Amino acid sequence: MPTPTQILVAGGGIGGLAAAYVLGRQGLPVTVLEQSTAFGEIGAGIQLGPNIFRMFEHLGLTEAVRQVAFFPPGLGMNDVRTGERVVRVPLGDIAQAAYGFPYGVIYRADLHTVFLEACRALPNVTLRTGAKVESFAQDAQGVRATLTSGEVLEGAALVGADGLWSRIREAIVGDGKPRVSGHIAYRAVLPRAEVPAHLWSDDVLLWGGEKTHLVHYPLRRGELFNLVAVFHSNKYDEGWNTFGDTAELSERFAQAVPQVRELLGKIETWKMWVLCDREPVANWSQGRVTLLGDAAHPMLQYLAQGAGQAIEDAVVLGAAVRHTGGDWTQAVQLYQQARYLRTGRVQLTARFYGDIYHASGVARELRNRMFQGGQEAAGFAGLKWMYEGIDPDRLFR
């Protein structure tokens, strides 16, 4: 049997499509296998740090993203109980000047569509829906992925971009279910017309409180308004489409300033996410099979980097494949070696930022004073290692 050349990608989320696009652009035949009956993303916002815009630039997607993104003038944090301003970082000045790339926000579905359209424009990328990968096997010649339908596909490699509950990860890492953080998120998106002017903010604005926070920002050129309310809870529901309980939410935010309560009251239906992550691991590959995005390094959302790190993964994987001339066993090792410490650092730092946002008592006072002591820019600069990102032109030189 001749060695198969096609690359199989399990999962057509932002990570899987980014990988398919990167590999497809390099001329490789790629097949994306998505379990859902249609490609799509849930309605919610995603923040895009300068490190992610650096990737868009490298991938030739900046313009497509710019057309649907929103560029907030600042990142702010207010105390949810008193309304006092804790910190505000002017983004236009700092992000562009310090990192050479902007800080934007985007509707998840719009970012997903950018990658979907980019993949569709490549004749060597095949996009399949209703194709759930059940298991895989491999030998020296290649990989065989078995779908739940019983169909078997052969490939030169398999990239598991199948998210938080990854099947491929189960077979490679075997670390069981994700770690339930004890935090849950309620999300909603409102049309601009439904947000009164006194509640609207162009900034990404986070209202931090004891074991709670609310973050909101505009989406899609300012036509939509994204809200995510997070609080501590012991609930656990897998998936991204469970409905939230509005009574529980208003109880959690009972101490919030009237402006926040008024805003929360505008929403009738919330969708709920149970927030999970995993301990970082150094090895998420086996032979010709590797993981990417949330399957490899799921993280809490407090640094707003999960999708961004998935896109960086895709760029690094592409560079590793190019560098090794298509030797997949070598390429996946090179790729994970270049990624695990950076993504592990984001995973662990995100947990710490959750504690900062939800601080109470002395920790809350300290946080507020530290930020208010004129160190707001320093707060942003403390994440320099993350926002500077990776230089795609210097990988594996």
Ligand X SMILES: Cc1cc2nc3c(=O)[nH]c(=O)nc-3n(C[C@H](O)[C@H](O)[C@H](O)COP(=O)(O)OP(=O)(O)OC[C@H]3O[C@@H](n4cnc5c(N)ncnc54)[C@H](O)[C@@H]3O)c2cc1C
Residue 256 C-beta: closest distance to ligand X, Å = 19
Instruction: Considering the candidates 217, 302, 340, 387, report the single residue annotated as catalytic.
Output: 217
265: amino acid identity, one letter: G
Instruction: Quote the CA–CA distance of 370 and 331 in Å, as a whole number.
Output: 44
Cα 118 from chain centre? 19
Q: How many CA atoms lie within 13 A of 378 on its CB side?
A: 6
**Interface characters, 172-191, with ligand X (x: CB under 6 A):** -------------x------
Interior angle at CA 355, CA 242 and CA 297, nearest 5: 60
* β partners of residue 76: 88, 205
State the virtual CA torsion across 95, 99, 102, 103 in degrees, nearest 10: -60
Burial (Cβ within 10 Å: 0-12, 13-18, ≥19) of residue 222 = middle
Catalytic annotation on 217?
yes
Task: Identify which of residues 122 and 296 has a Cβ nearer to ligand X in the complex.
Answer: 296
Taking CB under 6 A as the rule, does residue 133 contact ligand X? yes
Residue 15 interacting with ligand X (CB under 6 A): yes
Q: For ligand X, which residue of 162, 277, 312, 376 counts as binding (CB under 6 A)?
A: 162
Contacts of ligand X in 39-68 (CB under 6 A): 46-47
208: contact with ligand X by CB under 6 A: no
Q: Residue 33 is inside which H or E element, if any?
A: strand 30-33
Buried residues in 272-310 as b, exposed as e (16+ CB within 10 A):
bbbbbbbebbeebbbbbbbbbbbbbbbbbbbbbbbbbbb
167 binds ligand X (CB under 6 A): yes
- Return the residue of 24, 74, 209, 293 that touches ligand X, per CB under 6 A: 293
Query: What binding mask, one character per residue, do residues 228-257 give for ligand X by CB under 6 A, x or -?
Result: x-----------------------------
What is the smallest separation between the CB atom of 110 and ligand X, expressed in angstroms?
Answer: 13
Q: List the one residue from 20, 23, 33, 94 that touches ligand X (CB under 6 A).
A: 33
Give contact residues for ligand X (rule: CB under 6 A): 10-16, 33-36, 46-47, 132-133, 161-164, 167, 185, 228, 273, 275, 293-295, 301, 304-308, 310
Please list the active-site residues.
217
